[in-house]
Amino acid sequence: MKICLIRHAKTAGNLEKRYIGTTDEPLCDAGREELLARSYPDCDIVFSSSLKRCVETAKIIFPDKKIILHEAFNEINFGDFEGKNFEELVGNFHYQKWLENGGNIAFLNGEAPADFKKRCCDKFEKIVRENGEFSKLGFVLHGGTIMAIMEKFAIPPRNFYDYQVENCGGFAAEFNGKNIVGARKL
């Protein structure tokens, strides 16, 4: 089956380089403009995070497709870092610890990266297993969600951070029932 993993268009928080995991903000005008200038592979059905930025992106790209929302695809909860950018977190003890640990420890009052990755990958695996009657599945997600899915399923295997994609970017690939193969950047 063909899959397409698309990161949502830009928001005001993205423009300011803020951690906007659970912040439910809409796309900004610049994000909508950039999205309208791009094209994406067609799909039979679309799955999306339930947050506004993904839903709006999905509706713009796939206006005539059924879009199914899943909270399990929502971005990680950045806890006390939510809504802040790097400059605002410089000198923060917990932020420094998170950086020193390669982003692998739980966010203060937020979510553990391992828990986030598990919920995203479990939902992806369930969806591809249950939707085999479709030959092309579209996913409109967050950067972290795409990174988690690619880290677990993509061949050849790579590190989580190797799968970073810009807003409106993503991957088109094949899912062979077990792995994502032949991924190319959008």
For the stretch 136-169, pLDDT in tens is 999 999 999 999 999 999 999 999 999 999 999 9
**Single-letter residue type at 66:** K
pLDDT of residue 47: 98
Number of domains present in the structure of the chain: 1
With 0-12 / 13-18 / 19 or more C-beta atoms within 10 angstroms meaning exposed / middle / buried, residue 105 is middle
The residue-averaged pLDDT of 70-78 equals 98
For the stretch 87-109, pLDDT in tens is 999 999 999 999 999 888 999 99
pTM attached to this predicted model: 0.95
Give me the domain span that covers residue 57: 2-185
Residues of the chain with pLDDT > 90, as a percent, come to 96
User: Which CATH number covers residue 169?
Assistant: 3.40.50.1240
Closest by CA to 154, choosing from 131, 113, 121, is 121
Give 20's contacts (C-beta < 8 A, 6+ positions apart): 11, 13, 14, 75, 78, 82, 83
